Amino acid sequence: MWLWAMLLVAVAVQGIVWGAPKSHGTGGAPLPHLRHFFGVGYALILLGAELAFCVAYRLPMAAVWVLVAGACVDLAFWGAHLGGLAFPTGDSAALTAGAGAVVLAAGVLAGRFRAGRPSRSPRSYEGGA
């Protein structure tokens, strides 16, 4: 349930608020006045939720791929900035967190991420001391 919610929010924010899938000839995002709600703060909250999901379900490689996806998007924005293109900071932050949500959902739903070793708490240890 949480996975679907994160994916839905990430895709909706990119399409509706930031206008990521813009087609030529359209004015951009349908709701650009909501951008101040979905900037860097939103990105940090979504990234935290993604990593909390990975910790809760013991998916260490999923957490790595969420961070790798974010780093790749950030590198792409950095390269575009060096090439002379300018993007709003909130747009790049939201897209970075959204890419993490998409990678996480795709990996989990495809069965690519497996749970890590369960933590050994004193209650689960059945051996002698």
Cβ 2 vs Cβ 101: under 8 Å: no
pLDDT higher for 56 or 92? Answer: 56
How confident is the model over 85-109, as pLDDT tens digits? 777 677 788 888 888 999 999 998 8
Its domain, for residue 87, covers: 2-20+30-109
How many structural domains are present in the chain? 1
Structure tokens at 35: 């951008």
Which among 30, 28, 17 is positioned nearest to 93, based on CA atoms? 17
- Note whether residue 92 is domain-resident: yes
Its pTM stands at 0.75
Measured CA angle at 51 (ends 1, 5), to 5 deg: 25
